[in-house]
Chains A and B, each alone.
Chain A
């Protein structure tokens, strides 16, 4: 008796699914015929919970969405609240937000690089990436005491000011990161095994990528120059000079290369923000209890994983009526099947790693 199609189960407990994700794979010998992701193993009911909390109380919970880039989630949420309530943010606060958000992007990409390389087998890169990330987490810990779930960006501004001591320590970190990055690049960029496992694997064309709703580095790896920091600038990003790295082939290698280039660009942005840090308050004048008149607002930011958006509808009280999060990882994961079809099933791990998903954001 010969059978060709086998159904394999991967997860929800698996070292390489980046969280509790279950993938049902249909394979023909080793070639993937189809993938069905099963979600919900980390569904915590965030959107329901937010409706019973005040606008301010929601901020720490947004940390737990994309837990590798918590400040980005905070930024996305507070910008939407500020648009809804019509709050003007002081320029110093906007610059500090840029510094924090870009440092967070660095930390997220370094962790991603470690995880993806570890999944494919290059375990040293995990330790290199995490060591580099620890330096950034030291900055966050000095800034506000937290390493991972930071919520240093609050409605109206940021929680603390940054003094000259912290600025100089951030600059030191900015000079150290390129050295670590160079180490990682030396190990991987021209590595024959790495290229065999990533070049040409998990391809997606630009038009299909847009139709699947792909955003962030996976879309830019297809050559599509879509970056919310440039298209609809927010929080003074228009003041800074930076490039948007693009790929060409939309494969795993290009997604990897785009993210490493973005690390370099983030370092540029942080340097410029620190150089041009304006004087002034770091928090707007906020009422004691924030009540927002009935209305609706939508705002998107370029988070490390892709375009993150929040829709908030208010009803005149201090609690939101509805908060809907547009989750980049949730949408990006939809294209996994398209990217994996026809590839070997051992490539699924590499493709999944290159998408850079976080289950907290997918499952909410």
Chain B
């Protein structure tokens, strides 16, 4: 069956475009709001910056129901295993966005208890720098993520599960 499909790349490309269009316009964030960046994330979801125009207003409290992991805030060594477990609990396909300098690289805290960047424990798709990034900055990061999703090939992963991205 997969050989038949692979002989029809045009159909697969069309299917990819459709699937990625649906995915990028209905991302459900799992707002892992850890610190100050969480407030700007909530402000982005509020009335003025209105993340709902991107289809992302449904912030899920449970990782099982979400597909975008926004790490907003400082990740401490104590919180790191918890965050990793939450990431593992998210079903595929999933994406992650490191919001704020602390999630990107430890931010202004080179201390004994802070993880210097969340990409040490989970793969990150988009890094949004700022301390905190303004809501416009976060939305820009989300739009870059949408472009990244648009460039991906979900049909390849469906047809060949071994081609899935390591998590």
Q: Which residues of A contact B (CB under 8 A)?
A: 12-15, 19-20, 40-46, 48-49, 60-61, 63-64, 67-68, 111, 126-127, 130-131, 133-134, 137, 147-149, 359-360
Contact B112 A64 (CB under 8 A): no
Contact between B108 and A20 (Cβ–Cβ < 8 Å)? no
Tell me which of A15, A40, A126 contacts B61 (CB under 8 A).
A15
B38→A44 contact, CB < 8 A: no
Across the interface, name the chain B residue whose C-beta is closest to A65. B36
Instruction: Let me know if B134 and A67 touch, CB within 8 A.
Output: no
Given known contacts A20-B34, A61-B108, A147-B134, A12 and B79 CB-to-CB distance under 8 angstroms: yes
Beyond A45-B114, A127-B47, A134-B48, whether A149 also contacts B34 by CB under 8 A is: no
Known: A61-B108, A131-B47. A41 touches B82 (CB 8 A): yes
* Across-interface contacts of B15 in A (CB, < 8 A): none
Cβ B79 vs Cβ A64 within 8 A: no
**Do B76 and A42 have beta carbons less than 8 Å apart?**
yes
Most B CB within 10 A of own CB, among A12, A20, A126, A360: A20
Complex contact A67–B39 (CB within 8 A): yes
In this complex, what residue of B is CB-closest to A57?
A: B108
9 A-B pairs with the lowest CB-CB distances in the bound complex, closest first: A45-B111, A67-B36, A130-B46, A15-B61, A41-B79, A44-B109, A127-B47, A131-B47, A134-B48
Q: Are A149 and B38 in contact (CB under 8 A)?
A: no
With A19-B34, A64-B35 known as contacts, the answer to whether A45 contacts B113 (CB < 8 A) is: yes
* A13 close to B32 (CB less than 8 A): yes
- Pairwise interchain contact A359-B82, C-beta atoms closer than 8 A: no
Interface residue from B32, B39, B47, B131 paired with A68 (Cβ < 8 Å): B39
Q: Tell me whether A360 and B35 are in contact (CB under 8 A).
A: yes
> Within the complex, what minimum Cβ distance (angstroms) separates B87 from chain A?
11
Contact check, A147 vs B40: say whether CB atoms are below 8 A apart.
yes
Return chain A residues, CB-CB under 8 Å to B132. Answer: 148-149
Which chain A residue lies CB-closest to B63? Answer: A13
15 A-B pairs in the complex with CB atoms less than 8 angstroms apart: A15-B61, A20-B35, A41-B34, A41-B82, A42-B73, A42-B76, A45-B112, A45-B113, A48-B112, A67-B35, A68-B39, A130-B43, A130-B48, A131-B48, A134-B48
Q: Kindly provide the distance from the CB of B19 to the nearest chain A CB, expressed in whole angstroms.
A: 29
Q: How many residues of B contact A (CB 8 A)?
A: 33
B12 cross-chain contacts in A, Cβ below 8 A = none
Closest to B74 in A: A44
CB distance from A348 to the nearest CB of B (A): 16
* Per-residue contact bits, chain B 24-61, to A (CB 8 Å; 1 contact, 0 not): 00000001111110111011001110000000000101
Contact B39 A111 (CB under 8 A): yes
CB distance from B90 to the nearest CB of A (A): 12
Q: In chain B, residues 56-97, which have Cβ atoms closer than 8 Å to a Cβ of chain A?
A: 59, 61, 73-74, 76, 78-79, 82, 86
Verify B39–A44 contact, CB threshold 8 A: no
From B31, B35, B43, B59, A19 is in contact (CB under 8 Å) with B35
Distance in Å: Cβ of A362 to nearest Cβ of chain B: 11
- Which residues of A have CB within 8 Å of B43? 130, 133-134, 137, 147
Q: Are A149 and B36 in contact (CB-based, < 8 A)? A: yes
**A15-B61, A42-B76 are contacts. A49–B111 as well, Cβ < 8 Å?**
yes
Judging by beta carbons under 8 Å apart, are B46 and A45 in contact?
A: no
Task: Give the complex CA separation of A147 and B130 in angstroms.
Answer: 12
**Do B61 and A43 have beta carbons less than 8 Å apart?**
no
Instruction: Report the Cα distance A226→B113, complex, angstroms.
Output: 36
Q: Judging by beta carbons under 8 Å apart, are A48 and B40 in contact?
A: no
Residue of A13, A49, A131, A359 near B86 (CB, 8 A) is A13
Contact assessment for A42 and B86 in the assembled complex, using a CB-CB cutoff below 8 Å? no
| 7 other A-B residue contacts (CB within 8 Å) besides A42-B74, A45-B114, A48-B112 | A45-B112, A46-B109, A64-B108, A67-B39, A68-B39, A147-B43, A359-B35
